[in-house]
Amino acid sequence: MTFNSAKKSNFSIRFKIWALFMIFTGIVFVLMWLLQIVFLQSFYPAFKISQTKKASKQIISCYENSSDYVEEIERFAVSNNMCVALLDNTGYTKASADVMNGNCAIHGGKVELFILLDKIRASKDGKLLMKIYNNNIQSKVIIYGTIIGNKDNPEGYLLLDVPLAPVESFIDIIKSQTLYIISILLIIALFFSSYISNYIANPITRITKSAERLAHGDYNTVFTGGGYSEVDKLAETLTFAEHEIQKVEMMQRDLIANTSHDLRTPLTMLKAYAEMIRDLSGDNPEKRAKHLQIIIDETDRLTALVNDMLDLSKLESGSQKLEISEMDISEKMNSIYKRYLEHSKTSNYTIYFEKQPSCIVSCDEGKIERVICNLINNAINYTAKDRKVFIREIICDDCVLIEVEDTGDGIEKDKINLIFDRYYRSENHKREVVGTGLGLSIVKAILQMHDYSFGVRSTVGVGSTFWFKIKR
């Protein structure tokens, strides 16, 4: 048999983890390449220009604020590796620094200063920025100039000459370095990703194989987790599911065995008595009536059994919902009592009850009545010779305690936990006791649906008291 999941994936988790890891490494590789090699070429000059502009502001502020500006500017130029020329408005040099031993473009006559000053004056914002190649130092330089003071009436001019380091050779080094790093990274990623994917996938593969064995009905399958908490949890859940499936299957088997047994007995009786009427008692009205009565009783028993089976399956499957309404429990107990009182007159038992003041509770009236009647029926069925049944209603602050007591044989301690199970019947259950073996299971299902607590106290040879608490 094959089952189709909604969407089948063609790739194993191992492959997917490995592939994702490799994609991630690829992205790292591309990013590194772009940042180190492609952007460095444009990033470096831009960075230098912005540094130069910042430096020009610092030099102007030093010139305007310090009397010792000549030395200070020189020191600044040396530490920042730039040539400086600070001129007054006539073009006379007031401070200068040459960090290139006479090879500066602005000092060595490489460019004519007055041409630069003209360009500054002609510019819109009083600033000049140009990149030229300086053969003296075999490198490109940035020439930056700015007016000091007002553009229309300049106080002076500042010119800076900053060498640009040749990035090309640097980039070549980084390029080969990056290739080495990436190759090592790729090899590491290859091993690491296959290790990680095995680490994650192995427990899952193991559990899947176990689940396949379970699907084929092997309930001794052991689910082992290992490695990480999600798989441990999965193994735990599957082990729990395995036990539950096993339980359900056992219950199903028991149910079929019990049901067929319970159905067969009355059916055999029906057939036997019908044959008897046909072959023997057909002409004898007295005997015939007796046999017919047995047939009617057995049919009633069969009907009760089938009804209980249906009711219990509806309750347990959840297809029957609670219909909660307000009910006066004292009134209800009294009306049930009266009914049984009437019945007791012809059925040889005594029932006792003391009516309590009115008390309103919210519950499913029909179902709670069924619980009370099931418990009373059992008490009547299992009570001993003195045939006394006591029903009690005790109103407490948070609940109403309902008790049904009989003076029967009681239930042995080790059986108490079993009597609420479906089809449980004690060995001394007699056939003359009308019961389907489902009464207490129905009681349990209804009380659990209401979330009411319930239980039984019993002493062998003295009697049993079944109780439950209706929440207020």
| Residue selected from 128, 379, 389, 391 as contacting ligand ADP according to rule CB under 6 A | 379
382 binds ligand ADP (CB under 6 A): yes
Please give the Cα distance from 373 to 350 (Å, whole number). Answer: 15
Single out the segment in contact with ligand ADP by CB under 6 A; choices: 64-72, 141-149, 254-262, 403-411. 403-411
Answer for the pair 322, 450: CB distance below 8 angstroms, yes or no: yes
The residue (of 96 and 465) whose beta carbon lies closer to ligand ADP is 465
Binding mask 324-363 for ligand ADP (x = CB under 6 A): ----------------------------------------
407 binds ligand ADP (CB under 6 A): no
The dihedral built from the CA positions of residue 27, 30, 36 and 41, taken in this order, carries a sign that is negative
The residue (of 147 and 391) whose beta carbon lies closer to ligand ADP is 391
Single out the segment in contact with ligand ADP by CB under 6 A; choices: 48-56, 273-281, 346-354, 439-447. 439-447
The residue (of 116 and 419) whose beta carbon lies closer to ligand ADP is 419
Answer for the pair 188, 20: CB distance below 8 angstroms, yes or no: no
378 binds ligand ADP (CB under 6 A): yes
Structure tokens at 167: 């990035």
Q: Which residue is nearest to ligand ADP (CB)?
A: 435
How many helices (DSSP H) and strands (DSSP E) are in the chain?
Answer: 11, 12
211 in the Ramachandran plot: left (φ > 0), alpha (ψ -120 to 50) or beta? alpha
CB 353 → ligand ADP: shortest distance, Å? 17
The residue (of 221 and 436) whose beta carbon lies closer to ligand ADP is 436
261 binds ligand ADP (CB under 6 A): no
Answer for the pair 328, 360: CB distance below 8 angstroms, yes or no: yes
CB 471 → ligand ADP: shortest distance, Å? 24
Please give the Cα distance from 463 to 458 (Å, whole number). Answer: 6
The residue (of 146 and 436) whose beta carbon lies closer to ligand ADP is 436
454 binds ligand ADP (CB under 6 A): no
CB 348 → ligand ADP: shortest distance, Å? 17
98 binds ligand ADP (CB under 6 A): no
Judged on CB neighbours under 10 Å (0-12, 13-18, 19+), 441 is buried
| Residue selected from 126, 156, 225, 408 as contacting ligand ADP according to rule CB under 6 A | 408
Q: For residue 65, give the amino acid letter.
A: N
Answer for the pair 391, 351: CB distance below 8 angstroms, yes or no: yes
The residue (of 134 and 436) whose beta carbon lies closer to ligand ADP is 436
State the first-to-last Cα distance of the chain, in angstroms, to the nearest integer: 52
464 binds ligand ADP (CB under 6 A): yes
Answer for the pair 185, 28: CB distance below 8 angstroms, yes or no: yes
Please give the Cα distance from 193 to 169 (Å, whole number). Answer: 35
**Which are the contacts of 293, defined by CB distance < 8 A and separation ≥ 6?**
none
| Residue selected from 126, 225, 266, 439 as contacting ligand ADP according to rule CB under 6 A | 439
| Residue selected from 182, 189, 437, 469 as contacting ligand ADP according to rule CB under 6 A | 437
CB 454 → ligand ADP: shortest distance, Å? 13
The residue (of 56 and 465) whose beta carbon lies closer to ligand ADP is 465
Judged on CB neighbours under 10 Å (0-12, 13-18, 19+), 216 is exposed
**Which are the contacts of 228, defined by CB distance < 8 A and separation ≥ 6?**
200, 203
The residue (of 324 and 462) whose beta carbon lies closer to ligand ADP is 462
| Residue selected from 438, 446, 447, 470 as contacting ligand ADP according to rule CB under 6 A | 438
221 binds ligand ADP (CB under 6 A): no
The residue (of 80 and 378) whose beta carbon lies closer to ligand ADP is 378
Query: Most distant CA pair in the chain: distance in Å?
Result: 152
440 binds ligand ADP (CB under 6 A): yes
CA-wise closest residue to 381 among 464, 262, 265: 464
CB 235 → ligand ADP: shortest distance, Å? 37
The residue (of 205 and 313) whose beta carbon lies closer to ligand ADP is 313
Strand, coil or helix: 12: coil
Please give the Cα distance from 109 to 70 (Å, whole number). Answer: 22
Strand, coil or helix: 99: coil
- Summarize the chain as % helix, strand, coil (round to 5): 55, 20, 25
Binding to ligand ADP in span 417-436, by CB under 6 A: 419, 424-426, 429, 435-436
131 binds ligand ADP (CB under 6 A): no
Answer for the pair 100, 163: CB distance below 8 angstroms, yes or no: yes
Structure tokens at 59: 């030099």
| Residue selected from 411, 446, 447, 470 as contacting ligand ADP according to rule CB under 6 A | 411
The residue (of 96 and 441) whose beta carbon lies closer to ligand ADP is 441
Tell me the site size for ligand ADP, rule CB under 6 A. Answer: 19
Structure tokens at 67: 């009397």
Please give the Cα distance from 52 to 160 (Å, whole number). Answer: 8
- Which residues contact ligand ADP by CB under 6 A? 378-379, 382, 406, 408, 411, 419, 424-426, 429, 435-441, 464
